[in-house]
Amino acid sequence: MTWNRREFLQKTSAATLAALAASAPVANLLSGCSRATKQGQTNGTADTVILLWMAGGMAHTETFDPKRYTPFETGMEGNRVLSTFKSAPTVLDGIHFSDGLQRIGNVMDKGTLIRSYMAADMGHILHSRHQYHWHTGYEPPQTVAAPHLGAWIAKELGPKNPVIPAFVDIGQRFTVGEAEELKAFHTAGFLGHEFGPFFIPDPSQGLESVRPPVGMDSKRFERRNQLYNDLISNGPVGEFGSDYQKASLKRSMEQAYRLLNSPEAKAFDLSSEPKASYDTYNTGKFGLGCLLARRLTEQGARFISVTTEYEPFKGWDTHENGHTRLELMKKQIDGPVAQLIKDLDKTGHLDRTLVILASEFSRDMMVEGRPDAKVLEQVNQPDILSEPKFYGMHRHFTDGCSILMFGGGIRKGFVYGKTADERPCKTIENPVRIDGIHQTIYHALGLPPDLHYDVEKRPFYSTPDGLGKPVMDLLA
């Protein structure tokens, strides 16, 4: 069955209203586990997660799994082109990355490269649907508002520092592109508002997110805060929300208020970072997001997502001029990602911080979907390339994607999985799917594989039906 955007929104909106009306989720069999993890008594190898999200579809053959390089020539056959960049050696013997990612390649002795992630077959490919699937582990639409991966972690492990939000989302605006679709998975769902993300759309303005507006004194801010409470009471949560959801929203607001008046709020002020360090990270919003993630990790954030931001036809969403666009994207991510790993390692935080770099799916010049499950082509990609704008990976490809993982108990200097060296460059060894990625993360954090809550008298698991298995080969 295929779903268009309208149907997706209708179903997810209904699920959100259902979540508001739901009573407290019951963790019957897991209440003991939940108490133990909140007290920090886990057997995990990590206690913090940083997700570096390459929003828009990062082509594996142009980044971390390069194939045969073919330079552009007018009139060339598109089917000849597997990679539009030369490859460059990494610190790992025999392992190459695409040119432009040498700095990340030089820290791969500290992490694992997965070359065999396979995205789901969901019919007509829509970015927000695949992003929903990656971040929640569930294919949309759902009759229950599925919690974000970060919300599960915030709920089960609680804050490391009661002042710093447990779940922070950096870099995504909801005023661009598929805004409502993106909101559908940026939520804690039935777990409650207090476990949802604390949004910082622009990391350079992070301090503004935790300070009252300029010119607003404390009394005026208190009045505005009370007005906001009144608006919430008279809004959808007040009208349709259960007592549990209302109380959860109130707690989330109290947490935000505590942060406003705390010394830890200085972590959000990037102007206090030494200039040399700031300049290393300052490749744009994403680079500064990595810097903010490092600072928040040091202050006790539990789950931090930093995104290159999804906006249709921008960033990694390469529908044309793919080669030129990726030159720019690599400059945005190469230095900051490598510096983040080096900084966390230098301070000892990498030992307990799991860093993941991923995207919703990959790209190919000729294949839309996967070879045995092709879908409607969304890009006018000619067989013969007459102009440089056609030189690049412009179609969505779901049969082979790359993921990087560092720290938090992950193996060092390791490569897992393999894709074919000729088109279609699909997974041919050790396929990995999203439930395996999520369960590997939960395992590293010490969370049980059958973690679930009873919602509307039915169990809802952290991975579908509780069947996700950790990929133990990825763990040291």
Enumerate the β-bridge partners of residue 49.
303, 354
Average pLDDT over every residue of 60-74: 98
Is 147 a residue whose pLDDT tops 80? yes
pLDDT number for residue 206? 81
In a domain, 243, yes or no: yes
- Lowest-pLDDT range, 67-76, 156-165, 230-239? 230-239
In a domain, 273, yes or no: yes
In a domain, 126, yes or no: no
Domain total of the chain: 1
Largest Cα separation within the chain, whole Å, is: 69
pLDDT number for residue 348? 97
Roughly what angle, to the nearest 10 degrees, separates helices 5-21 and 243-260? Answer: 90
pLDDT tens by residue, 197-244: 999 999 998 877 666 656 666 666 566 566 656 665 666 655 555 666
pLDDT number for residue 211? 66
Enumerate the β-bridge partners of residue 455.
458
pLDDT number for residue 38? 43
Q: How would residue 28 be classed by pLDDT, with cut points 50, 70 and 90?
A: very low
In a domain, 5, yes or no: no
Percent of the chain with pLDDT over 90: 70
**Which residues lie below 8 Å from residue 309, measured CB to CB, with a gap of 6+?**
55, 171, 172, 173, 176, 285, 286, 315
Is 30 a residue whose pLDDT tops 50? no
Q: How far is CA 251 from CA 196, 248, 255, 441, in A?
A: 11, 5, 6, 27
Tokens 């010490």 appear where? 446
Closest CA to 195 of 205, 187, 207: 187
In a domain, 301, yes or no: yes
Return d(Cα 344, Cα 365) in angstroms, integer. 37
pLDDT number for residue 40? 43
Is 256 a residue whose pLDDT tops 80? no
In a domain, 26, yes or no: yes
Is 58 a residue whose pLDDT tops 90? yes
In a domain, 6, yes or no: no
Q: How many CA atoms does the CB half-sphere of 270 hold within 13 Å?
A: 24
Instruction: Report the chain's mean pLDDT, rounded to a whole number.
Output: 87
Range of the domain at 266: 19-121+139-376+389-401+445-474
Q: How far is CA 454 from CA 23, 90, 123, 457, 464, in A?
A: 10, 47, 30, 5, 14
pLDDT tens by residue, 292-323: 999 999 999 999 999 999 999 999 999 999 99
Is 311 within 8 Å of 319 (Cβ atoms)?
no
Q: Which two tokens stand for residue 325?
A: 């666009």
Average pLDDT over every residue of 433-453: 97
Q: Is 313 left (phi over 0), alpha (psi -120 to 50) or beta?
A: left
Radius of gyration in angstroms for the set of CA atoms belonging to the chain, rounded to a whole number: 22
Q: How far is CA 192 from CA 154, 182, 185, 347, 429, in A?
A: 11, 18, 13, 34, 39
Would you call 177 helix, strand, or coil by DSSP? Answer: coil
pLDDT number for residue 2? 52
Q: How would residue 434 be classed by pLDDT, with cut points 50, 70 and 90?
A: very high
pLDDT tens by residue, 389-422: 999 999 999 999 999 999 999 999 999 999 999 9
pLDDT number for residue 377? 87
Top-confidence range, 107-111, 237-241, 260-264: 107-111
CA angle 406/165/449 to nearest 5° reads 55
pLDDT number for residue 376? 84
The amino acid present at 261, given as its one-letter code, is N
Enumerate the β-bridge partners of residue 168.
198, 304
pLDDT number for residue 193? 85
Is 343 within 8 Å of 298 (Cβ atoms)?
no
Is 440 a residue whose pLDDT tops 90? yes
Q: Is 171 left (phi over 0), alpha (psi -120 to 50) or beta?
A: left
Return d(Cα 286, Cα 328) in angstroms, integer. 12
pLDDT number for residue 50? 98
In a domain, 421, yes or no: no
Is 414 within 8 Å of 15 (Cβ atoms)?
no
> In this structure, how many other beta carbons lie within 10 angstroms of the beta carbon of residue 428?
15
Q: How would residue 186 be classed by pLDDT, with cut points 50, 70 and 90?
A: very high
**Where does residue 350 rank: exposed (0-12), middle (13-18), buried (19+ CB within 10 A)?**
buried
Is 122 a residue whose pLDDT tops 90? no
For 128-247, strand residue ranges (E) read 167-170, 198-200
